[in-house]
């Protein structure tokens, strides 16, 4: 009695739906957990060290980040702008805020100045912001634990 050889290879179907579902859940999780405040940082800026620097106590409403380089230019939205020209960009920010029903004084201007930049330049930036109606400011420094 001879045995018949099976020439067919059995195939198995794998249901990929749970794997795809889990992948999308992980992507969603990491998008919520991601720290977007670091996205506004630029490697050209070396913050000064301070023992008084404290971590941010939560998210700010309508933050505007201005980063002053040691050359005296401002990095705004990834673009280098002269300190004298930042007023036009702030005017656009103000217009967008007013059109969306918010007042400019509700926004927080975050100033990240390089430790080697001139103090007078930071003062010019703050003065220009105040002229455009922005009143809240946050100066950034790197926390130094000291000895």
Residue 114 or 145, more confident: 114
Mean pLDDT of 96-108: 88
The CA R_g of the chain, rounded to the nearest whole Å, is 26
pLDDT confidence of 1, banded at 50, 70, 90? low
Residue listed under structure tokens 């106590």: 57
Residue listed under structure tokens 């179907």: 13
Q: What is the pLDDT of residues 33-86, one digit of tens each?
A: 775 554 456 556 666 555 555 555 666 677 888 888 888 888 888 888 888 889
Biggest distance spanned by C-alpha atoms of the chain: 101
Q: What is the pLDDT of residues 116-130, one digit of tens each?
A: 788 788 889 989 999
If you average pLDDT over every residue of the chain, what do you get? 78
pLDDT computed for residue 59 by the predictor: 63
Cβ atoms of 104 and 132 within 8 Å: the answer is yes
pLDDT computed for residue 24 by the predictor: 92
Question: At 105, is the secondary structure helix, strand, or coil?
Answer: helix
Enter the pTM of the model.
Answer: 0.60
Q: Give the count of beta carbons closer than 10 Å to the beta carbon of residue 122.
A: 18
Task: Spell out the domains of the chain, with CATH numbers in brackets.
Answer: 41-143 (3.30.420)
**Cα–Cα dist 95/29, whole Å:** 34
């Amino acid at each position: 009695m001879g045995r018949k050889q099976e020439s067919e290879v059995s195939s198995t179907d794998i249901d990929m739906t749970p794997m795809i579902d889990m992948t999308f859940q992980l992507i969603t999780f990491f998008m919520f957990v991601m720290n977007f405040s670091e996205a506004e940082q630029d490697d050209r800026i070396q913050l000064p060290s301070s023992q008084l620097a404290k971590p941010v106590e939560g998210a700010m409403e309508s933050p505007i980040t201005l980063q002053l380089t040691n050359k005296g230019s401002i990095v705004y939205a990834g673009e280098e702008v002269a300190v004298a020209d930042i007023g036009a960009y702030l005017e656009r920010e103000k217009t967008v805020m007013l059109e969306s029903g918010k007042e400019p004084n509700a926004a927080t201007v975050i100033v990240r100045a390089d430790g080697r930049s001139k103090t007078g330049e930071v003062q010019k930036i703050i003065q220009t912001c105040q002229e455009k109606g922005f009143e809240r400011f946050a100066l950034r420094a790197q926390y130094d634990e000291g000895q």
